[in-house]
Amino acid sequence: MNKKASELAVPKELRKILAAQPKVKDAWEGLTPIARRDFITWIEGAKKPETRIRRIEVTDSKLLAGERRPCCYAVVPMNLYKALGANLKAKATWKDLTPNERRDVVAWIDEAQNSAMKGIRIEEVCAMLAKGKRQL
C-alpha cells in the first residue's frame, strides 16, 4: 500500500484486516485520501480500547457495504465545536474554510499528546481564526 506524505498511518490492526481480506483492501484503496483519513481519525479518536477495537471491526463491514465514511463521525471535535460557538469571529472564519482546511486543523488538534495540549491547540486555533487567518 503506497502512502502519500499527507496521509495518516493506517492503524496496525486495520492493516491486518486489509491484508487478510482482499475485497476490503480493494474498497479501502478505492477511497479518497480524505475518506481514509476520516476512517483513521474515527478509529484513533476512540477514548476506550474497546471502542477502538469495535470501530476497527466494523470498518471492514462498512467498506464491504460501500460506505465511504464512518457513520456518525463528527468532523469537528466537541471541544472545538463549543469553543467556536463561544467565539463568533472564529466561527465565521471556520465556516469559510474548505473541507481540507478544516480537516487539517482537526488533525493538528488530534495530534496533541494529551487533553491539556489539545485544549491549548483549540485556543490557538480560535485565536487564529478570530484574526481571520485560515492556516496554522
Contact between residue 75 and residue 102 where contact means Cβ atoms under 8 Å apart: yes
Q: Which of 2-6, 87-91, 99-103, 123-127 comes out lowest in average pLDDT?
A: 2-6
Closest CA to 43 of 30, 21, 28: 28
Q: What is the pLDDT of residue 90?
A: 96
71 within some domain: no
**Residue 125 structural domain:** 78-130
Q: Are residues 82 and 125 in the same domain?
A: yes
Who has greater pLDDT, 72 or 56?
56
How many domains does the structure of the chain reveal? 2
Specify the DSSP class assigned to residue 117. Answer: H
Mean pLDDT along residues 50-73 = 86
Return left, alpha or beta for 70; rule: phi > 0 is left, psi -120 to 50 is alpha, else beta.
beta
pLDDT band at residue 5 using 50, 70 and 90 as cut-offs: very low
Mean pLDDT along residues 7-27 = 92
Q: What is the pLDDT of residue 74?
A: 54
Q: Are residues 83 and 126 in the same domain?
A: yes
Mean pLDDT along residues 42-49 = 87
Who has greater pLDDT, 12 or 101?
12
Calpha distance 133→128 (Å, rounded): 5
Q: Are residues 60 and 100 in the same domain?
A: no
Contact between residue 125 and residue 109 where contact means Cβ atoms under 8 Å apart: yes
CA 51, 56, 57: angle at the middle one, nearest 5? 95
